Each structure stands twice: as C-alpha cells, then as structure tokens.
Structure 1
C-alpha cells in the first residue's frame, strides 16, 4: 500500500481547519464621534488588547477584524478622554462618543487666526495662559499671570486700573488699554472707540488666555499692538457647586460662588464674584461685583449656540502719581495738595452690562459659519484731581466668519471670509470737581464711533510639511463728535473724522521639521486709528491733527519639544517699524495729551522654556517642573523731533530692555503643592528724553496649598501665599512723561493671603 506523503496530511488538516479559523475571528464595525457636537473624528485610534489597530476614516467610521477571544477595543483621540468597547458581538454599528478633555501642552489647540490648529501648526507669535498658570496666583487680578508671558507687560497704576503693553504699546496708553483688541468667548470686548474696560471682569471669570503679539492684520482687523482672546471658565461633566474665599493684607477679600453644569447637550456656568480691598496706599480702595452667565448649547449635530451675560459694578480709587522724593519718603501716600487725590475723592465708578450671542453652524464637512451679535451699556463716573467726568456708552456690534474646507489637488486648503462691525454712542460731560462732586459744566459732547473691517484668509497645506497662509483685511474707522456746549466759549460744533480705509495684509509660512518641532515666519502690517479719548481728551480740546499709526512687522521663530516631551521651548525674533507713532504727555493739569512723533524701530527676542522632571500621578512627588521666559527689547525712537530737541535714537519710553520670569511647580500624591515665581524687570525710561528711569527690580512670590478629594464627591483646597516675598520697593504702572515729576505708582510691600475652596459634585 502506497504511503501518503506528509505534506498531503498537512494540506488536508489545513482545509478542514479553515472554517474553524474563520469562526475564531470577529469583525467589528463602528464610528467615533465628538460627544459634544456629534461630529465625526477622523484619525481616531481603535486598538484591540491583542494588538490589532486601525484609524477612523473621515466620516469617523472603522472596520476591524480581531480574534474571538479579544477582551476590548480602546478608542482614543488627541485631546479627548479615551473609551473602551467590551461587547464586541453587538450587532450593527458600534457608536462611540468621545468627550473633549484638557489637552497636554504638546497637544494644545489655539484659536488664533481662526485656524483652530495645534500650536505647533500655527505660524505666529502666540502665547497661551492656561488655568494651571492663572491658578498659581491669587485672584485679585490677572497681572502676575500675564507678566509670565515674554513680550507682554501688564501694570496696575492702582488696584483695578489696568494698563497692558504688547511689544511696547504702552507708549500711547497712560491709563486703560488701547491699541490691543480683546475678545471674550469670541465676542468683541474692545469697544468701537478703541478702548477696553477689562477691569469690569474679575480674574475668576477667565479660564484661558491667548495672546497674539504684534499686528495680527487679517481676521482681527486693525491694530498694531496685538490681539487677546479670553475664554470663560467651562463646566466639567456633571453638575458642580463651588465656593471660594480669600483674605489677605491691607483688607483684601475675594469671594466666588458658582454653579456649573456640563453634558453632551449643554455647558452652563453661573458665577458671582466680589472683591474688596482697603488698599496699600491712601485712596486706593476697590469694590467690584461681577455676575457672569456663560453657556453653550449643542442643539444638533450641526449647530452650537453660545450666550454670555456680564453685569459688573466696579468702584476703585485713584491715589495718583508721586515724585521721587515722595516715593522715597512714604510710598503709601496719595498725591497731595489742594487738588490732591484724597481732597478731590479721585476715583472711578463703572457699571456695565455686556450681552453676547454666538452661533456656530456646520452646513456640511466643507462649510461652516460662526456669527455673533452683542450689545453693551456702560456708565462711568470719574472725579479726577482737576475735573469730573460722566460718560455713558451704548454699543451694538456683530461679527461673522465663513470657513470653507477644500483641496487643491491633493493639498488641503481652508478659506475664511468674514467681517466685523461696531457702532457706539457716547454722551460725555466734564465738570469742575469740587471735593468729589460735580460743579460747573465745562463741556457736553455726543460721540458716535464706528469701526469695521472685512477679511479673507487662505491656508494651504503644501508638501513637505509646510503650511502657507495669506490674509488680507480692509479696515475703516470713523468718529462723529457733536459739542453741545462748551463753558469757556459757549460754542457748538460738529466734527467728523473719517480715517482713510486701509488694507492690512499678512503672509506666513510654517514648516514641521519633526513631529515635535516646527519653525515659522511671517510678515504683517497693521493700522491703528486714535481712540476717542485721544482725539477728545478730558481738558475739552479737540485733537484734529492726530493721525493713525501704521506699521509692518517681520518675525521668525521655532517652537517644540525635546527629551521625550519633557523640554518645551518657544523662541521668536521680530523687527517692527511703526510710523506716525502716537505718544502721550501730561499737561500742567495732569491731563494726558497726544501727538504723532514720526517712527519707532522695535527689534526683540522672546523666549519661553520649560522642563518637566516628574509628571507621574503614581509617585509620591507626582509633579516637578521649572519654566520661565525672557524678553530682550531693543526699541528706539526714529525721526523724533520735539521742539528744538532731536530725540531720535532714544530708548522707547516705558519699555524695559530686559525682563525675565522663573517659576517652579511641585505637587505630591497626598495633595500638597507649591508654586514659586520670580520676576525681573530692567530699568525703564520714564521720559521721551531718557532723563528719568525707574529702578530695576526682582520680585518673588510663593503659594502653597493642599487639595484633597473628600467623601461624597467633595473637593477641598486650602491655600496661602506671599507676594513680594523679598519686600522689594518698586513702582508698578509708572506714569510716562508725567508733569511735575509725578512718575511713580508704588506697588505693595510684602503681603500675605490665604483661603479655601470647596467643590461639590451634585
């Protein structure tokens, strides 16, 4: 009998076993969606515990074949909390909804330029201040958090009297915020007249800050200083009640009570804050109350509706500037004399209501639109040392942008079109100030402010990891001033200032060198018309000769991560040439007046570095990192002739050539944490002539606390801190070109605070 070859037996066994092998496989079909808006997530990872893996298609769908004994599938996507599927035999399409979560530093997405890309894919000098930085400091203000950003300096001439500089823009801002555009939850916070009442918000209202430096040109319209995007705090999943209380030196008290609710269908935050402060100096008390309602409703797969309501009642006192002799003798005193701050009850009371409504609508995978409408009412009552102002502002505005996602051949392209328009009406009256009460009427004005722009932007993903952006905006601004009465002359007049329409272009390139490192370069131009307060100062004069600033900015940078993500770096070099530069100078009465002085040349280097030694929740010390920033500013006047004196080549007033911040964060598994911060500022020229300088200073602060999850979904945090730990004597918020040598606004000496926070999950 003939023997059957061995390979024939193997072939028979294989054929007989094929059906059994097929039965031992499972095919799972599913889709992965964003739980918030039900939109598909392309590129989500679907991984079996046996090792098999696929990525989701553009429609969020996937098909994966796994062995019958597979225990689960892990669904993960960048910036979302992962989920698992354990019932692999379920019939039909397996649908997984992933919830958005806070991204890690490497994954953080930014809104800047409306690209909504990761920071590593965004061409431009953008800095992000997240909640982890904001929470390192007490909630008296956001000044300390903002000053950790390179190229940005924020001052408090008095508590709640903010001044903000991005790459030297303080020059035309003796008080208040000008030449910088601010948005809150995508809705303009800057008014049509060019000013921003940021102090109507409490620090506890803000959950995230993006700072775009220099002229952003395109999608944010006119401006040479920069753009800041503020986001409110967001609710986490579920319902939560929170109460915070902080108390500190010089009568500081701060209270927060909030309710939040987050789900797949809506996100709601209702927050009440109150801050009170007796003041380090005479005449420097603060009392502010803010009621914030911020909500988002995910009404369908295509539509998201957001609404904001902000009511603010703010009162703060103005101690005034001191001379060098007064500053040395007693930094806690207020400006004295017959027209001193105490005698004249120098202060500001502002009441404001800001209402905004925004809709995001996705027509399909290619087209989407975002439209917002807003209105505000603001009343300002301001007894000053030499006069008394009463202003009422009413404003309406809107913004809309349309985004189209397409392809040029195999290259992805995104086109953005839109516009923004604001119209404000202000009644402005000035009186003689008689001990804090209005006396004889000086001037009575009505001002209509209009500001608007249209923009277009194209972004193309070129081969070799290059992203190219081209953008253009067409900007217009107009003021109509009607003087109803002027006491000195009794005259009436109408004056209309319609600034010439200006085109502002922006070109940018970004190259991904590796997955964790990118370089970028851009050139952009900006135009910034004078604010209403610069054309119509409180002394009753009319500045008809003031022209808009225009400038061009060149910059290049590199950012990324190294050492397995432990080292982060962001370095930007820039050169900005500004023409028709606006500067301020105080007259004999202390009123700021403005003029154009030719050009400035501004070159600088901005760096951010961080290194995370430990970031492991399982270790006793589960977080240890150091980070910091450094800014070098070589800013000079060009073509500046003041009377018979040539000031060309002088250092730019109000800008420190060198600033730096160094910080350390540590946390432990039991819940103890420690934050250390040191900030340095070089000497600052206080006059255009560079004859007076504020001294350099190094200020340190520390915060420590204990955060613990208690039973019944209760989280308790107890904290305390010290500001100005080394008891440094310095001036924060110097008055530039001040009359009578009153340059200095002393900052508090060593001061303490402490408090607690309770969160309860319903």
Structure 2
C-alpha cells in the first residue's frame, strides 16, 4: 500500500476493535482494554497452569513487535536480532538453538503452525491482529504437544458487540517506521466477520536492515444453530527483510549500527510469502459431549540471499486437529475428559545457489550455479487424552498422556554416488504422561503441582552427518519436569501474585555444531538440569475518582547447568547452561487517568548471558526503560479519536538484544556473538474510528 492510500484510509476509519460478542453500544479504547483483559480465554484444558497476556500488556509497548509483550512473561525470553530474526526460549529450552525457534509448539487459533521439523516463526503474525498470547511453560500441556519448551497459543481478534465497526491505527516513528492497521468487524445474528489489513515498513537502526511487510487476516464465523458452528481463518503475510547479521565484540563496541561486512556487501535479505488457512467445525452432541475439528493448510515461499549461498525453498503443509470434550463419572464423582488427535505432514523443497555478489559491480546478491537440490517429507502424529477429576470442592487431579510419532524422509537430488544421501529416519513412538494437582485454599488462593515428561525432536538438518547422510544414532531429547506453584488474589483482589518453582532434567541434549558458514550438524552430548523461580506481582491502586495506578513486577531466577556434558573430549559438567541469563526482571507502572488517558512506564533488566560452554565469555547485563502515553476519546455516538506517543530505550543504552553461542570465526575473522538492540527511538500513533 502506498503512503497516500494509507493516509486516505486513515481519514475514514474507526477505533473499535473486536473480541467476544458482548453488547457494548459505546466504548472508549481504555474501556476496551479493560474489557478484553476480562474476556481472556484460557485454551489450556482443565487445571493445566498457563500465562496469558492481552490488551493491557500490549499497551506497554509499540504495536510493531510481539517481543516486548512476550518478554514480560516470567520464564519466557525472546532473543530478537531484528523484526524477522527471533528465537523464543522457555525456561532455557531453545537457548542452544542458533537461529529460529524450536522445541515448542506454536498454535494460531488452535491450529498448529509449527512446521514438520519443529520450527516456529513468530514474526509471521501481527501484534495488532491478536487479542491475547497464552504460554504453557514446559511439557505439562498434553493436548498441545508436550514439547520440552511447552506451547504458545495466539488468539486473533474477533468481532465485539452487535455492531459493524471500522477502525484504523496509523503509526510513524524513528528509523523510517510506518505502520498501518485497518480493521473491519461485523457481528449480527450469529455471523461474525473480522478483516484486518496491515502494512509495516522501516529502514531499521542498523545498516542493511530495511523491513517491509503486508498482511491480511480474515476470520469468519457462523453459528448455524445452538449445536453447530463453523469458522474459517485465513492469514497471509508477505514480507521482505534485509539482514545485517551479528557482530563481533570489536565491531559491536565501535559501532553497533553497522552491518557485518559480507552481509552489507552482498545486500543480504530474505523474502517470504506465508499463508495459513483453516476450517473449524464445532458440534455439540449433548450436554456431556462436544467435538471441535480443524483442517488446515500452510504454504511458505522463502528466498534468502546469504553471502555464502542463496537459499530458495518452499513448504506445503497440511493436517487435522480434532478434540472430543466430554463429561463422565468415576466412582460417583463427575469428571471431564478430552480425547484427540493432531496429524501434520509437510513437504519441504530447497535448493541452494552460489552467490556471486563479488562479481555484481556493487549491486548486491547475484544468483549463480546450483550446488544443492533437496526434498524432505516430514510427518508428525500426536494422540492425546486427559482426565480431570474433582475429588472435592477444593482438590482436583488431572492426568494426561500424549503419544508422538515422527518420521523424516530425505531426498538429495544433487549428490552422486552415495547410497545414504537419500534416507528415512523413523523415530520410535514416544509416550509422554503428565499429572496435575490443584488445591483451592479459598476462592482467591490456590496451589498446584505438576510432574510431566516431554521431548524435542532434532531437526532434519541436525540428524545429518557431516557428509550429508542421515545419522541413525541421533536421539530425541527427553526430560522430566517438576513444578510447584501458587496463585493468590489478596486485598479485595487488588493484589495478584503468582509464584512457581520448577526443575526439569533433560537427557540426550542436542548440540548444534557449525562445520562451515552454512552447515550445522547435531549430536547428543549429555544432560542438563533446569531449575528456576518465577514471580509475577501486580497491584491495582485506586487513587481518586478516575485515577488508578497499577504497579507490576515480573522476575525470573534461573539456575540452569550442565550435569553431564562432554563435547569433543572437553568436560563442561557443572558449568552454567549457555545462552540463559541468571536474572531477568520486568517492572512497570500503569497509570489510568479518567476513562480516556493513560501513561505506562516499563523497565527491563537482563543479566549476563554465558556465551561459551566453557563459561569463558559472557554478554554484559543491561537495563532498558520504555514509556508510552495516550488518550482515546469518544467524540460522538459513532466517531472516536485516539493518539499515542512512545519512546523506546529512553536512556539510549547500547546493549545486545540477541546473542549467539559457541560461534566460530572463519577465515581469520572474529567470532560474531552480538545482535545490537535499537538506539533510543520514538513513535506516535493516530487512531480514528466509526461505528455504523
């Protein structure tokens, strides 16, 4: 969308956003934030504990990225090298992955969007299209994959109220930022339609970091009758992003805004077209049994020009997810159960070409001769079930089990004369049980306990040998999780407190080894122990009529270490786990003035992060302060206006927003560990709205 069209659309649009069908004839944006937080929908089944962030947390930061909101969750940390370069870790799981996110399951509106090799791409989704983010930490959510990292469930916005609304949020900021989100929502007589179109572009803080993205979300639902409803979801993202890559310590200290020389010279970039479509049918058989079934299809077309080779790939994925939710009785005790299946298969085709940028007269990447031609067939099947039994009004137990079966089929059409260059890896079925206990001390106080088993598959790339053959000896990571927690609401529920302590023991640790610029292999190298404490405290303090102050603190303490870890004859047993900060905290103040004005301040602290298994090098700890203020006013019965102003990194701190671990320098170059965070930058938003 060009800038002129964006501004024209801005002049004719409205502020109201969508969620559940609640009849609200007049509502300001701040009222809406309170309403959406009150309407948070818990996806985790039964008493499985999870963390949910929604509108009030989103309001602490700019609408450009999901990362700041997710980093407010204790135990969750997202390393972000750029808008298109994110790596999610949960309780240290995933910290050893060099690029991208694995070892967890990502769902969008209950549709799995993690690919067949276990990789999830959070940057494919627009924050302004979401109503909430839910995180199940660890393998305790048996209905969501039982991966060691857990699961993340993104819920899109839906129509709010029996009305038709159109809204627009237009944001500009430093580094050439321009973002526009246009939203149309309609709800009437069982028909719910939401359409969001978003455009984002920025030059970026660093050299060679231009980012442009267009996205379309369509969410259509229809209630056929009291027992049947259908929903159609379509999410399409098209983005192109330059890649500045990581910096060595010297370059990071000299000028963190610079791009790595080879990536700058080749004008390295990636271009992605991603489509997700899903159809859900929900049927209620009786008061005691209902079913929800989704069929879905995903397509990714990815082109990445790297200085050491150009990657051209596409992935077609499809699957089904079906759940039966029912009520039964056990020894005269009512019980709830879930039985379901989730099947996913994708076909991944990828070619690699030489990058002849050095012969392109300074015009960047130039595709040369092909040197790789591959195809992968990847299949995952999960069978799951859980049974929740309330033995009394205060004590409830829930048992669950997940059975996973994974298969890879790899074809190399470029290699010659090697029988093993095309092979199949068929992992044995793995059984993953879970037990949750919950004791309700009162209506506002509870404690819970969980013990569960989880796993992580190696990616197909990790399962290859240095010669490119499938390694039959590489094994899945497995681990046992133990967790004890409490949730308290005190002082007339003004004070909310959540506390959790956990220990996870992981065996067959997968270690990625970089054997050249573009090739990694995996090995099982030992055991790790993940111990931690997570605390979230929030207080709501009414100061006077129309004034409310809400301070909050979220804190994570980790004691993650190698228990038995020998790598290339070096013994790292007892060392801290690489890539995990020991201390991390987010604190803030949210001030609401009357019903139409707010001011939020957030502070983030991230402790030093070990960068090598030998614990010989660590990143520096850092502290970053962000602030945002705004107002939203209903000017007439139909028209509303709002404005926001925010500043990120208020004190202009130089810090590493993402790091790599155990990197090697090639060709005599310094190892590159650091992705710099943005310098101080400001942004402003204008919202206009109309209710028909």
TM-score of the aligned structures, taking structure 1 as reference length? 0.83
Following superposition, the deviation at residue 724 of structure 1 comes to 0.4
Establish whether residue 522 from structure 1 lines up as the match of residue 446 from structure 2: no
Establish whether residue 110 from structure 1 lines up as the match of residue 34 from structure 2: no
- Candidates 499, 502, 511, aligned match of 2:439: 511
- Candidates 269, 272, 295, aligned match of 1:347: 269
- Candidates 314, 319, 322, aligned match of 2:244: 319
Distance 1:691 1:636 in 2: 15
Distance 1:706 1:181 in 2: 37
Establish whether residue 751 from structure 1 lines up as the match of residue 681 from structure 2: yes
Following superposition, the deviation at residue 102 of structure 1 comes to 7.2
Q: Secondary structure at the match of 1:342?
A: helix
Following superposition, the deviation at residue 285 of structure 1 comes to 1.1
Distance 1:431 1:158 in 2: 25
Following superposition, the deviation at residue 534 of structure 1 comes to 2.8
Distance 2:347 2:488 in 1: 46
Establish whether residue 248 from structure 1 lines up as the match of residue 173 from structure 2: yes
Structure 1, residues 153-212: CA drift from partner, whole Å, max 9, x if none?
Answer: 012112221110001123342111111101111111112221122222122122111100
Two-structure CA RMSD over aligned residues (Å): 2.3
Establish whether residue 566 from structure 1 lines up as the match of residue 494 from structure 2: yes
Provide closer, same or farther for how the CA distance between residues 156 and 760 of structure 1 changes in structure 2, counting only shifts above 3 A.
same
Distance 2:314 2:637 in 1: 49
Following superposition, the deviation at residue 531 of structure 1 comes to 1.9
Q: Secondary structure at the match of 2:250?
A: helix
Q: Tell whether the 8 Å contact from 1:430 to 1:538 is kept in structure 2 after alignment.
A: no
Structure-2 residue corresponding to 1:118: none
Map residues 279-290 of structure 1 onto 2, 5 A cutoff: 279-290=204-215
Distance 2:186 2:157 in 1: 12
Following superposition, the deviation at residue 263 of structure 1 comes to 3.2
Q: Tell whether the 8 Å contact from 1:428 to 1:444 is kept in structure 2 after alignment.
A: yes
Map residues 292-303 of structure 1 onto 2, 5 A cutoff: 292-303=217-228
Provide closer, same or farther for how the CA distance between residues 538 and 236 of structure 1 changes in structure 2, counting only shifts above 3 A.
farther
Establish whether residue 673 from structure 1 lines up as the match of residue 598 from structure 2: yes
Structure-1 residue corresponding to 2:195: 270
Establish whether residue 456 from structure 1 lines up as the match of residue 402 from structure 2: no
Q: Secondary structure at the match of 1:348?
A: strand
Distance 2:288 2:507 in 1: 41
Map residues 364-513 of structure 1 onto 2, 5 A cutoff: 364-435=286-357, 436-486=365-415, 493-513=421-441
Structure-1 residue corresponding to 2:511: 583
Map residues 123-272 of structure 1 onto 2, 5 A cutoff: 123-124=48-49, 126-216=50-140, 218-237=142-161, 238-272=163-197
Provide closer, same or farther for how the CA distance between residues 418 and 534 of structure 1 changes in structure 2, counting only shifts above 3 A.
same
Q: Secondary structure at the match of 2:676?
A: coil
- Candidates 574, 577, 596, aligned match of 2:524: 596
Q: Tell whether the 8 Å contact from 2:461 to 2:521 is kept in structure 1 after alignment.
A: no
Provide closer, same or farther for how the CA distance between residues 264 and 611 of structure 1 changes in structure 2, counting only shifts above 3 A.
farther
Following superposition, the deviation at residue 545 of structure 1 comes to 3.8
Provide closer, same or farther for how the CA distance between residues 555 and 350 of structure 1 changes in structure 2, counting only shifts above 3 A.
same
Q: Secondary structure at the match of 1:111?
A: coil
Following superposition, the deviation at residue 620 of structure 1 comes to 3.4
Distance 1:348 1:503 in 2: 38
Q: Which runs of 5+ in 1 are unaligned?
A: 1-35, 38-78, 84-99, 116-121
Establish whether residue 659 from structure 1 lines up as the match of residue 584 from structure 2: yes
Q: Tell whether the 8 Å contact from 1:217 to 1:473 is kept in structure 2 after alignment.
A: no
Provide closer, same or farther for how the CA distance between residues 536 and 310 of structure 1 changes in structure 2, counting only shifts above 3 A.
farther
Q: Secondary structure at the match of 1:341?
A: helix
Q: Tell whether the 8 Å contact from 2:140 to 2:451 is kept in structure 1 after alignment.
A: no
Q: Secondary structure at the match of 1:689?
A: coil
Provide closer, same or farther for how the CA distance between residues 180 and 670 of structure 1 changes in structure 2, counting only shifts above 3 A.
closer
Structure 1, residues 615-671: CA drift from partner, whole Å, max 9, x if none?
Answer: 88xx232x2111120000000012111223110011111100010010111111262
Distance 1:258 1:306 in 2: 18
Structure-1 residue corresponding to 2:279: 357
Structure-2 residue corresponding to 1:532: 460
Higher relative contact order (CA 8 A, sep 6+): 2
Distance 2:73 2:399 in 1: 27
Following superposition, the deviation at residue 593 of structure 1 comes to 3.5
Q: Tell whether the 8 Å contact from 2:52 to 2:133 is kept in structure 1 after alignment.
A: yes
Provide closer, same or farther for how the CA distance between residues 507 and 615 of structure 1 changes in structure 2, counting only shifts above 3 A.
farther
Provide closer, same or farther for how the CA distance between residues 192 and 584 of structure 1 changes in structure 2, counting only shifts above 3 A.
same
Is the radius of gyration larger for structure 1 or structure 2? 1
Q: Secondary structure at the match of 1:133?
A: helix
Q: Secondary structure at the match of 1:485?
A: coil
Distance 2:22 2:466 in 1: 52
Distance 1:306 1:101 in 2: 25
Q: Secondary structure at the match of 2:128?
A: helix
Structure-1 residue corresponding to 2:562: 637
Provide closer, same or farther for how the CA distance between residues 539 and 167 of structure 1 changes in structure 2, counting only shifts above 3 A.
farther
Distance 2:534 2:216 in 1: 36
Distance 1:426 1:589 in 2: 22
Distance 1:235 1:254 in 2: 22
Following superposition, the deviation at residue 325 of structure 1 comes to 0.7
Provide closer, same or farther for how the CA distance between residues 517 and 82 of structure 1 changes in structure 2, counting only shifts above 3 A.
farther
Provide closer, same or farther for how the CA distance between residues 177 and 538 of structure 1 changes in structure 2, counting only shifts above 3 A.
farther
Q: Which runs of 5+ in 2 are unaligned?
A: 1-18, 26-31, 358-364, 666-670
Following superposition, the deviation at residue 535 of structure 1 comes to 3.1
Q: Tell whether the 8 Å contact from 1:172 to 1:178 is kept in structure 2 after alignment.
A: no
Distance 1:107 1:708 in 2: 22
Following superposition, the deviation at residue 533 of structure 1 comes to 3.7
